[in-house]
Amino acid sequence: MGTVKMDEVWDDPEYQAWEKHVRDSVVPLLEETAVTITLIPRGQTGIKFAVELGLSIMMDKPIIALVQPGMSIPGGLAAVAAEIVEVDIARDPEGAQRSIADAFARVMHTADRHISLEDSDDNC
């Protein structure tokens, strides 16, 4: 296997098409959301998941991480998640729905408080 220079990767037409898709489709969707709710995958992390999570972090979106029972959470993910919610969607979809709704309400309440505090700081 030969060495690939980073310039070659960025100039690759397939990469450029993928980047355009992310900028034109994924970024606008995330910009319109107040919160990112994401199901943390078991095993190998998918690139789509990683890109959406990274963009959510960079856009300062509160992240609600949904994990399946017994999963271990990487420390970095735990550090950036506003809420980590253990859900068993297959066995208890109603309970999972309630847990997600409760987490969403807590995150939105906290976000509303931060917005109010920022607004009051501007008036000082």
Beta carbons within 8 Å of 86's beta carbon, 6+ residues apart: 67, 68, 69, 71, 99
Domain ranges of the chain: 1-32, 34-122
What class does CATH assign to 34-122?
alpha beta
- 65 within 8 A of 79, measured Cβ to Cβ: no
pLDDT number for residue 1: 52
pLDDT number for residue 35: 95
Instruction: Give 2-34 pLDDT, tens digit per residue.
Output: 666 767 778 889 999 999 999 999 999 999 999
Predicted TM-score (pTM) of this structure: 0.80
Average pLDDT over the chain, rounded to an integer: 88
Longest dimension (CA), the chain: 61
**Is residue 119 very low, low, confident or very high in pLDDT (cuts 50, 70, 90)?**
low
